Amino acid sequence: MNLKLLDCVVLTHDLPEAKLRAGDLGTVIEVYSDDDFEVEFVTASGSTLAVLTLSKADLREVARADILAVRSLIDAAA
C-alpha cells in the first residue's frame, strides 16, 4: 500500500475516543513517512470530526467492492 496526499483511506479498527469506527472513511492530509500519515475524518456535512496521526497498520485502501454508508454520531453515544 503506497498512500499519497489526498488519498481516501478506510480505518481498520474502532477508535472510540475519536468517535470513529472500523470502516470509516478518511482523507490523507499529510504524509510523514511510508508508515505514518495525518488523516482527516469528516461528517457527511463536511465538518471535521477528527484529525489523527495514524500508521499504515491503522488504514487500508478503498476497495472496489466497498460501499459507503452513513451513521449518526448521536447513535454512537448511546
Q: Which of 62, 67, 52 is nearest to 1 (CA)?
A: 62
**Prediction pTM value:** 0.91
The three-class DSSP label of residue 76 is helix
C-alpha dist (Å) from residue 66 to 9, 44, 45, 70, 76: 11, 17, 21, 13, 22
Q: For 35-48, how does the pLDDT look when each residue is reduced to its tens digit (9 = 90+)?
A: 999 999 999 999 99
Structure confidence at residue 74 (pLDDT): 85
| Complete domains list, the chain, with CATH | 8-77 (2.30.30)
Q: For 28-76, how does the pLDDT look when each residue is reduced to its tens digit (9 = 90+)?
A: 999 999 999 999 999 999 999 999 999 999 999 999 999 999 999 986 5
The three-class DSSP label of residue 75 is helix
